[in-house]
Amino acid sequence: MRRLACVFIAVIWFQVQSFSQPYVLQNSVKKIVFLGNSITYMGQYISCIEAYMTFHYPARHIEYINVGLPSETVSGLSEPGHAGGQFPRPDLHERLERVLVKIKPDLVFACYGMNDGIYMPFDEVRFQKYKEGIEWLHQLAAGAGIPIIHITPPVYDERKGKAYSNVLDIYADWLISRRYTTGWDVIDLHWPMRKYLEEQRHVDSTFRYAEDGIHPNETGHFIMAKQILLFLGATGLENIEKIKSALSGYSNGDAVLKLVEQRQEIMKDVWLTYTGHKRPWMKTGIPMAEARQKQDEIEKQIQALLK
């Protein structure tokens, strides 16, 4: 317990230090891709980021592209009987190259880990598969000349299983360590989420991010978004707990957020179909040409609200 407390304090200190020099989003960045599993596919944290950035940088027209795929791993692992035995977990190895070639992003955010330990107690072999998968992901993006920012996995609620909660602590710590061993850009949202969870449970013992211990609610997604925005140089968000509060100082903040969410909901299925994947039971979305038209219509509405 004492060792865990020391690690926790050290990680939080490193988190604070990492914000002293925010990541500079170059003017050449026009397309940002978000890779991940079902938490990324849900998309709320991406919508929060896009809405906030839209108000703070109205002259920059950045496309925030969600290609998160539910159930996916970067480790290539799948537990026996996944999805009732209907299909194994999707493996990022199968589709990453297509995503990079067909979208040609200027920047990639990648959030993996939640599924990669396949909900079992810690095992060195599974941990090695996760590390190898992350290394491969990094090298493929970097080799294509695309900057990549890694994101630690969200928390798994220990009330659903302390063993797996500990697995993600370990995975997050390893990823954070890559900042210092290899100079990678890594955003830690795992420990801030855990800290907030523990603080809230001192006030309300029933507090939780997720019914299933995995998929965060609106509060959890905003904490995820906040850590990414702080990494990108946002200020004044440290004590804010909801995206609506973060946008409250702007006229039409709620309206812009709703339009961003509407556009993200349309485009994520379109992009998954366009880049291709092997996971069954996914929506195909509308044709790309039609989606682009809707995307442009929503953008015009957003720009009108920003005036």
Give the per-residue pLDDT at 22: 86
In sequence order, what are the beta bridge partners of 148? 108
**Are 95 and 275 within 8 A, CB to CB?**
yes
How far, in Å, CA of 139 to CA of 184, rounded? 11
Give the per-residue pLDDT at 88: 98
Tell me the longest C-alpha to C-alpha distance in the chain: 57
- pTM over cut 0.85: yes
**How far are the Cα atoms of 195, 196, 208 from residue 202, in angstroms, in the given order?**
11, 10, 12
User: Which domains, ranges and CATH numbers included, belong to the chain?
Assistant: 23-306 (3.40.50.1110)
Give the per-residue pLDDT at 7: 46
**Are 194 and 168 within 8 A, CB to CB?**
no
Give the per-residue pLDDT at 21: 74
- The pair of structure tokens assigned to 273 is 């179909």
End-to-end CA distance of the chain: 54
How far, in Å, CA of 305 to CA of 272, rounded? 29
Cα-atom radius of gyration of the chain, to the nearest Å? 19
Q: Which residues of the chain have pLDDT under 70?
A: 1-20
How far, in Å, CA of 196 to CA of 27, rounded? 34
Give the per-residue pLDDT at 173: 98
- The pair of structure tokens assigned to 176 is 């954070």
Average pLDDT score, the chain: 94
**How far are the Cα atoms of 105, 112, 245 from residue 248, in angstroms, in the given order?**
31, 31, 5
Q: Which amino acid is at 158?
A: E
